[in-house]
Amino acid sequence: MKKIEEISTSTTHILSPAEQEYLRQIYLFDHGKHHNITTKILAAVLNNRASSVTAMIKKLSIKQMVVYDKHFGCRLSENGLKEALQIIRRNRLWELFLYEKLALDWEQVNEMASKLQSLTSTQLIEKLAVFLGNPTYDLQGEVIPDLSGELPATSCLEIYDLKVGQKATVFGYRETSNSFLEYIGKLNLQIGAQITILCIVTYNSSIEIIIENNQTYILSKEIAQKIFVHVDPN
């Protein structure tokens, strides 16, 4: 039998898939700012009964993943925050893979990523990250925690933030409904598309862009605010 030389300090193996999803949702409530979320709000988010949510929160409290008060709800403990960031990392990497590489609908992506986040080893998720090019953002412009659970210091821009002449690359969307993604596809503004700002119309704040294939489009302010981009250095 091989000697075990290193034991992981992660607590993922003692958390059920449901417990991991609770930690993820608590994190998404305040992004780790240690604000309490009430049982009522968490029950609504998870579409579950308040009594069931209370029972789960008490379990997570025993495992020192949350700090719980029956009057004020719960918040992530330091251990819970570390674990939640790793869960968020796995979830967002799987979302990118399922959407970009398998071209699944967003509803399928969301459901499957929530399941895969609890079934993935650290070794596999790091291979997945490398395969995807070690992305910094997910499809909705949210930062993906790094391997150590840290959130990289990055800035997130929308097409609407750009100036005339600036070049940028599309990397995510604020909206992920099937109808929106279908519309974006017709404009050839998929992830990785390179654009240049040609003109900004003062009257209605619409933006004329040219895409790498030399097609030009006029985007409304509403659409331009829903597409995240990285500004090209040159």
The reply to whether 109 falls in a domain is no
Residue that is last in its domain, among 65, 80, 95: 80
For residue 37, being part of any structural domain is answered with: yes
Which residue range is the domain that position 26 belongs to? 12-80
**CB contact set of 16 (below 8 Å; sequence gap of 6+):** 118
45 CB-contact burial (10 Å; exposed 0-12 / middle 13-18 / buried 19+) = middle
Q: Name residues whose C-beta falls within 8 Å of residue 222's C-beta, 6 or more positions apart in sequence.
A: none
Number of domains making up the chain:
2
The pair of structure tokens assigned to 47 is 């579409």
Answer for the pair 52, 44: CB distance below 8 angstroms, yes or no: no
**What is the predicted pLDDT for the residue at 147?**
87
> What CATH number is attached to the domain comprising 163?
2.30.30.90
pLDDT given for residue 225 in this prediction: 92
> In this predicted structure, what is the pLDDT of residue 167?
92
Domain CATH number, residue 73: 1.10.10.10
Q: What is the pLDDT of residue 71?
A: 87
* 168-226 pLDDT tens trace: 988 888 887 888 888 998 999 988 889 999 999 999 999 999 998 789 999 999 999 99
Entry pTM: 0.71
Q: Cβ of 145: how many Cβ atoms within 10 Å?
A: 21
Q: Residue ranges of the chain with pLDDT lower than 50?
A: 1-13
Q: What is the pLDDT of residue 191?
A: 82
CA angle 174, 177, 179 (to 5 degrees): 120
**Domain edge (last residue) among 80, 103, 133:** 80
Last residue of a domain, one of 38, 60, 80: 80
Containing 17, the helix (H) or strand (E) segment is helix 17-30
- Measured CA to CA in angstroms, residue 142 lies from 94, 148, 158, 200 at distances of 14, 17, 12, 26
